[in-house]
Structure 1
Amino acid sequence: MKKSITLMACFCLMLTTAFAQTRTVEQLKEYEKTLRKIDAEAINSENEMERRNSTYTFIKTLVTALKTPGSFNYPFDSLKTISITKDPSNKFRIFSWPFANEDGTYRYYGAIQINNSKQLELYPLKDYTDFIINRQDTVTSNENWFGAQYYQIIAPSSSNEPYLLLGWKGNSPKTSMRVIEPLTISDGFISMGAPILQDSTGKTVNRMIFEYSKSASMMLKYIPSKKWIVFDHLVPTDQSKKGNFEYYGPDLSYDGLKYEKGKWVYMTNINLTNEASEADELYNDPKKLANPQGIPINKKKN
């Protein structure tokens, strides 16, 4: 008799849990529909102020949606104009997206959501780009972020090392950027930037930034099997344009970083002949406008 009661109680608990999970998914689907509508307004409105107001409404609605229990595992995958990138170990995910200003510059928005089943643990990312002077050397936080749209998270080899974020950054009417950003999350504190990256001169920097012509496209990706980060070698169209990044683009050779004892060491002229994959299009397609997922962020030309 006691066994039957116990089995019945377990069955009822399973039904209750399943019902709660179904209800949560339905709630999040409704939020996603609303977000998709607001997002369309933020992209397609002819007036910059209207687009900006829609972006603020989008942020508020997204935060409300994320307060729903179990939201961390909901993909929001119909929101095509923002990047939602999850840590390979499933500890956190990053929302990031650009806002195109009328003058051809960009402002970035984002947040880091921690996988916390008890409550929403969310850290806003506040774009502070214009106020960061030494961009490769400055360690920042989520409160003074070097804004970017991230498309890949590289997990650390040990718990005392930072993650690495790979991102795209629309910069100005003339140039775009790719970014390698170290990220540390510890005891509720977000640190962005760390002295673990070696640049082409052998100098150790806190983040790596590649700037190039808006009309060009740059590949930046991670090869897990080799623990390499590989990227196009950028050069000016001629030596008289050296230092003027609106004239920089790939020269069909490749450089990279290889992992060595907690550091990422610079490599030059590496062979990528055998590393081609279907995913390469994601990183280097000149037909795609303004972000690594190939989603136009504004119908207007800047």
Structure 2
Amino acid sequence: MTKKALLTAFSILLCLQSFAQYYDEGTRLKKLNEYQDSLAKLGKKIVNDENDMERKNANYQFIKTLVQALKINNSFLFPFDSLKSISIVNSPDNRFRILSWHVINLDGSYRFYGTVQINTGGALKMFPLEDYSPLQKNPEDSVTDSHKWYGAQYYKIMPVYGPKPYYVLLGWKGNTVKSTKKVIDVISFNNGVPEFGMPVFNGNGKTRDRVVFEYARQVSMLLRYLPEQNLIVFDHLSAPDGRSKDKPETFGPDLSYDGYKLKEGRWTYVEDLDMRNISSGESSATDTEYVDPKKQAAKDRALVPTRH
């Protein structure tokens, strides 16, 4: 074969290869978008359907569909940003992401679902999360694997580097008809397998594996990370009166703020933070809010045009 013929053949192969890659990529994105559309519809049903069994059936189909979507090569790169019913948060180093969501039960309690997806650059590697919350009597004192997860819907991941690097998670945790929870948790990897919780939170004479806040459902609680301060800041919660000091479902913010300050890889509790000295930059933006499913259902129904 002459040099000219060789170059011509090489050019044709290059064009065919480029077309095949483009076609494969196009097909991949098309399939992922189709799955995303199906997941969005199921997600609305999980949130809005008033029938308990229908919500749970929709969630079952949602899980099956999500797994099929994630099996597509390089699905880690697909943002699924049209899914409003779940939280998808990437670690800042893009090593992994956590997909988490909740289903409300008939009695007003919540069950959480999720998975940790590892960025492999190709084939799917993930660790499904099994909500073990109802059986965890002392969640602040337990290190668990993905099968005994203290379920939550996460909105922030912060890396902490050191001899044993880990990531801090901030999460919302719907609880009962009376109370809501928020969580400061930790995820680390032991031989590539995720673990939740780590004894790195010091304060009030105790070391905690995670920090759990509980407060009245009708109020809101600030829980935010301020990177320029290496500080997790949160509302100080207190009872409305002396008779309710052992009833966290009555607690609410009292207009003071506490926090955890990062020092040498551990978090030290600090009281009575002066919020006037806290930067008002991007980090002070409002935390992601999770809408009560019943309230969201009412809003969605109000958007449906009525027939005259």
When normalised by structure 1's length, the TM-score is: 0.90
Residues 162, 182 of structure 1: 8 Å contact kept? yes
Structure 1 residue matching 2:267: 3-state secondary structure: strand
Larger deviation, residues 122-131 vs 242-251: 242-251
CA distance in 1, matches of 2:9, 2:274: 67
Larger deviation, residues 12-21 vs 215-224: 12-21
CA deviations over 1:4-42 (Å, ceiling 9, x no partner): 655554444333322221211111000011111111222
What residue number does 1:255 align with? Answer: 258
What residue number does 2:293 align with? Answer: 297
Query: Does residue 1:77 correspond to 2:81, yes or no?
Result: yes
Q: Which of 32, 39, 57 is the equivalent residue of 2:36?
A: 32
Structure 1 residue matching 2:17: 3-state secondary structure: helix
Q: CA RMSD in A?
A: 1.9
Alignment of 1:38-57 (within 5 A): 38-57=42-61
Larger deviation, residues 155-164 vs 126-135: 155-164
Structure 2 residue matching 1:102: 3-state secondary structure: coil
Query: Does residue 1:220 correspond to 2:216, yes or no?
Result: no
Of structures 1 and 2, the larger Rg is shown by 2
CA distance in 2, matches of 1:85, 1:159: 24
Change (3 A) 1:229 1:81: same
Change (3 A) 1:215 1:24: same
Q: How far is the alpha carbon of 1:92 from its aligned partner?
A: 0.6
Residues 102, 153 of structure 2: 8 Å contact kept? yes
CA deviations over 1:81-136 (Å, ceiling 9, x no partner): 11001111001110111111121111101111101123211111100111111110
CA distance in 2, matches of 1:294, 1:98: 10
CA distance in 2, matches of 1:93, 1:184: 13
State, as a whole percentage, how many aligned pairs show the same letter. Answer: 39
Could you tell me which runs of 5 or more consecutive residues in structure 1 were left unpaired when the two chains were aligned.
284-291
Q: How many residues align?
A: 292
CA distance in 2, matches of 1:192, 1:171: 19
When normalised by structure 2's length, the TM-score is: 0.89
Q: Which of 197, 222, 234 is the equivalent residue of 1:193?
A: 197
Residues 82, 95 of structure 1: 8 Å contact kept? yes
Letter in 2 for 1:32: Q
Q: How far is the alpha carbon of 1:249 from its aligned partner?
A: 0.9
Residues 81, 297 of structure 1: 8 Å contact kept? no
Could you tell me which runs of 5 or more consecutive residues in structure 2 were left unpaired when the two chains were aligned.
299-308
Whose helix fraction is larger, Structure 1's or Structure 2's? 2
